[in-house]
Amino acid sequence: SASSSICLGQKSSAQVLFSYFVFLLDQSASPKEHENNDSHGISSTHGSTRMVNLTQNAEEFIKAQVGGRGKLKTLSFDGGFRLQSEPPVKAKVNTLIYGARFKYPAKFEKTKCKDKFIWHINKGIVSPLNLMVNVTVRVISKNQTQTVTLDLNGASTIMWSPENVVPTYRKMPEAVVKQKCKFSAETTFEGYVAYALEEVRGDTPKNNAFNVVYLKNDS
């Protein structure tokens, strides 16, 4: 599979300088026609996908910074006690970046067919935030495009079908047509993670926050 990379950058406004980092999720898409089993709606599963867990990373970062001067009580990406200059963390998934594109057939002769789209995620992210992205796919059986909203948060496999019917027995399909392409989803995180401590020592504050940029992973 393609390698993943994480970028670090800065975005400035009038008086505030925000830092952000970017994860690239390695993924592949595989539309299928003439499937024997029905699939409707959107479902996500957790498999052997390598996940970056932002909550665990935040806990480890806080414990390393605090040391023995306090015990972590709570942390929050979008809540908790924070200063006005420490905005909540926001996540944005940019438009999918595709690799080698496959070509759809100009005309599909079989009208009694099914479309099934499967996104396999090799390297993903688990976070307290929704990682929503709109994806436009072409439904070959209907010869039209359709926009699907996917949540990449914590997902290893996402399946979608335009049909929303009760599964019924079907004979073996006449043919199975598979087309695949690789793509990446660039996700940007900005803001501050707030946390609260207990059993504090010395002048260590009970409430504090840190820039999410410190969770940057160079692997």
6-57 tens-digit pLDDT: 333 333 222 222 334 554 444 444 443 333 333 334 544 455 678 888 999 9
How much is the average pLDDT of 177-202? 86
> Is there a domain that residue 190 lies in?
yes
103 against 91, higher pLDDT:
91
Residue 94 per-residue DSSP state: P
**Is 103 within the bounds of a domain?**
no
Instruction: Decide: 45 and 155 in contact? Cβ < 8 Å.
Output: yes
Enter the tokens of residue 89.
Answer: 């963390």
What is the structure's pLDDT at 89? 95
Question: What pLDDT sits at residue 109?
Answer: 61
Q: What is the pLDDT of residue 111?
A: 59
- Span 151-167, average pLDDT: 75
**Alpha carbons 86 and 134: distance in angstroms, whole number:** 29
Q: How far apart are CA 48 and CA 122, in angstroms?
A: 8
Q: In degrees to the nearest 10, what's the CA dihedral of 103, 107, 113, 119? A: 20
Taking a C-beta distance cutoff of 8 angstroms, is the pair 29, 183 a contact? yes
How many other CB atoms are there within 10 angstroms of residue 124's CB atom?
25
Look at residue 106 and tell me if it is in a domain.
no
Residue carrying structure tokens 């499937």: 35
Which residue, 22, 10, 7, 30, is CA-closest to 185? 22
pLDDT, tens digit, for every residue of 46-56?
556 788 889 99
Q: Is 10 inside any structural domain?
A: yes
Whether 1 is in a domain gets the answer: no
- The Cα–Cα gap between 66 and 68 comes to 6
Does some domain include residue 108?
Answer: no
Residue 26 maps to a domain:
yes
In total, how many domains does the chain have?
1
Tell whether 104 is covered by a domain.
no
**Which structural domain range is residue 78 located in?**
6-98+113-215
In degrees to the nearest 10, what's the CA dihedral of 194, 198, 200, 204?
10
Q: Which amino acid does the sequence have at 75?
A: L
- Strand partners for 25: 185
pLDDT at 123: 81
